[in-house]
Structure 1
Amino acid sequence: MRHRVAGNRMNMPEPRRRSARRNLMAGLIRYDRIQTTEARARAIRAEVEKLIDKAVKARAAARKHLASVVSDEEKANQILEFARRGRFSLHKTVGTNEERLNQQKAPLTDKGRKFLEDKLKARREELLRIISNEDEAEEALQAAYQAMVIELHARRQILSALPDELVVKKMFEELAPRYVGRPGGYTRIIKIGRRKGDAAEIAQISLV
């Protein structure tokens, strides 16, 4: 019986096979193409496409959520870049030293308080330059934070399968925008010939 042995086992022990698959997938995403045996190329193809598809769908869902609040694409991109620089709210103020003490934070000197107040003022002005209405700006900013949460959830799922932060970053920043609207089929396998020595079929697997 073949219970729980679905998929290509790559003819090696499980820990080594898992490491080999991750290295092959990371190499493919990092360099857009790699050469390996045809069997290994076919073994990683489905999983690579599944991970890319997850990134594409997460990015699309995040953008759709933000677009439901900010219809202007340019403003939506500006709000998202603003949100990525840290949490902020137009209602945020610098608390008194008594309030900070209750929050278990260190008290502020006059110079430190002025620095924080100037920083909040600068961010407030920057946000209102993008969207002048305060209520609309606050709503748009919260939508941008929620869009980031949607992407972050997908990033964590992909990282659990492929623990390489630079590779996952490329998937969201380069591959997801490239494949928006494409219903799968992100890779291509081309046979190259046979390897000298053991005559194994060699193929190139690449991102289309």
Structure 2
Amino acid sequence: MRHRVSGSRLNMPHSQRVALMKNLARELFEHGTIVTTVTKAKELRPFVESIITRAKKATTITQELGTKSTGSPEAMELKSRNLALRREINRNFNDRKLVKKICDEVAVKYLTRNGGYTRIVKLGMRRGDASEMAVLQLVDSEEKKETK
């Protein structure tokens, strides 16, 4: 029985599943959209959203640091918390440039948004094995919708 067990196993061992999630998340942050199966997209969504939430916290701390004086104990505490959050994100990717992009570009778009950073759009069946395919996208900010 699978009572209270969240997530799908995706028919692979834990280490392979974690590696898959990290690779899919990396591609999503680099390109903004990926095409994958619906099951993988549904598994990836909470992983990506938690990373964006951490990046938002790091971004707000960075903004607070700009208002504090550099030598104060409050500034030192904020700086260490910012570094800790960036290291938590880096644990998934092991790429400092990607972490910088996530914290400085991606998270800034979602500062006023409370969750729902990704969108899953179903595409239909894959031709080879009839798997249901989907597009997983990072949701654009409100400004782009207004210009349309």
What is the TM-score of this pair, normalised by structure 2?
Answer: 0.82
User: 1:141 is aligned with what amino acid?
Assistant: T
Structure number with greater CO (CA < 8 Å, separation at least 6) is 1
**Are the counterparts in 2 of residues 189 and 204 from structure 1 also a CA contact under 8 Å?**
yes
What is the root-mean-square deviation in Å for CA atoms of aligned residues? Answer: 2.0
> Matched residues in 2 for 1:147 and 1:175: separation?
21
> Matched residues in 2 for 1:148 and 1:184: separation?
25
**Are the counterparts in 2 of residues 189 and 205 from structure 1 also a CA contact under 8 Å?**
yes
Q: CA deviation at 1:65?
A: 4.7
Secondary structure of residue in 1 paired with 2:35 = strand
Pairing 1:47–2:40 present: no
Q: CA deviation at 1:196?
A: 0.6
Name the counterpart of 1:26: 26
Pairing 1:180–2:98 present: no
Q: CA deviation at 1:165?
A: 2.5
How does 1:97-108 map onto structure 2 within 5 Å? none
> Matched residues in 2 for 1:26 and 1:4: separation?
29
**Are the counterparts in 1 of residues 41 and 134 from structure 2 also a CA contact under 8 Å?**
yes
Q: What runs of 5+ residues in structure 1 fail to find an aligned partner?
A: 70-139
Q: How many residue pairs end up in the alignment?
A: 137
Name the counterpart of 1:160: 91
- Structure number, greater radius of gyration: 1
User: 1:203 is aligned with what amino acid?
Assistant: A
Q: What runs of 5+ residues in structure 2 fail to find an aligned partner?
A: 140-148
Q: CA deviation at 1:187?
A: 0.6
User: Which residue, out of 39, 61, 70, partners 1:141?
Assistant: 70
